[in-house]
């Protein structure tokens, strides 16, 4: 038996102004996208913004529904919108921001497992690493590729 270890590397920024300009703009677009959140049940507003190859930005926000499983997270709303409108453009980066009652939370917004799986597949589809920027008021995290937040990705079929 051999014990193995998986290490995850990421960058932490103290504020939006520390990010490189394109990432900062995307983080701000994610915060702005929170306005489109429809969350009458959880009151947790999430916004996402995706930068496509070439620079187009696609936003999304969580959409809830009385039939709970029918709702959708901000990240998948944004990814499916980008995938449908721009099928040939790689999603280079996704920024995520969330908070209660429209106010950005102190800690970074971390995507759910289902959204990570969808990110993984779009990354595989394009062959371009998708970076993930998780925005909080107190700190911001950046991961360079989906593999860093979803080790041992399932993409076998």
Interface mask toward ligand THU for 67-86; x: CB under 6 A: ----x-xxx-----------
Does the annotation count 144 as an active-site position? no
Residues 6+ apart with CB under 8 A from 57: 25, 26, 29, 49, 50, 51
Cα 41 to the chain's mean position, in Å?
21
From candidates 49, 64, 135, 150, binder to ligand THU by CB under 6 A: 64
- 112 binds ligand THU, rule: CB under 6 A: yes
State how beta strands 44-52 and 57-61 pair: antiparallel
**Could you tell me the end-to-end alpha-carbon distance of the chain, in angstroms, rounded to an integer?**
29
Binding residue for ligand THU, selected from 10, 12, 42, 151, defined by CB under 6 A: 42
What is the distance between the alpha carbons of residues 50 and 93, in angstroms, rounded to a whole number? 6
Mark residues 117-156: x for contact with ligand THU by CB under 6 A, - for none: ----------------------------------------
Residue length of the chain:
157
Contact residues for ligand THU, defined by CB under 6 A: 39, 42, 44, 46, 62, 64, 71, 73-75, 111-112, 115
């Amino acid at each position: 038996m051999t014990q193995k270890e998986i290490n995850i590397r990421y960058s932490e920024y103290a504020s939006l102004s520390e990010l490189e300009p394109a990432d900062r703009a995307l983080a701000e677009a994610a915060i702005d996208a929170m306005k489109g959140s429809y969350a009458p049940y959880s009151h947790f507003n999430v916004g996402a913004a995706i930068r496509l190859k070439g620079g187009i930005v696609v936003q999304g926000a969580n959409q809830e529904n009385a039939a709970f499983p029918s709702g959708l997270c901000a990240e998948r709303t944004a990814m499916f919108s980008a995938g449908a409108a721009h099928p040939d453009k790689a999603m280079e980066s996704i920024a995520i921001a969330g908070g209660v009652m429209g106010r950005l939370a102190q800690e970074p917004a971390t995507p759910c497992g289902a959204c990570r799986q969808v990110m993984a597949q779009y990354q595989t589809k394009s062959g371009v690493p998708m970076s993930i920027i998780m925005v909080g008021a107190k700190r911001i995290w950046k991961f360079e590729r989906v593999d860093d937040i979803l080790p041992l990705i399932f993409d076998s079929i």
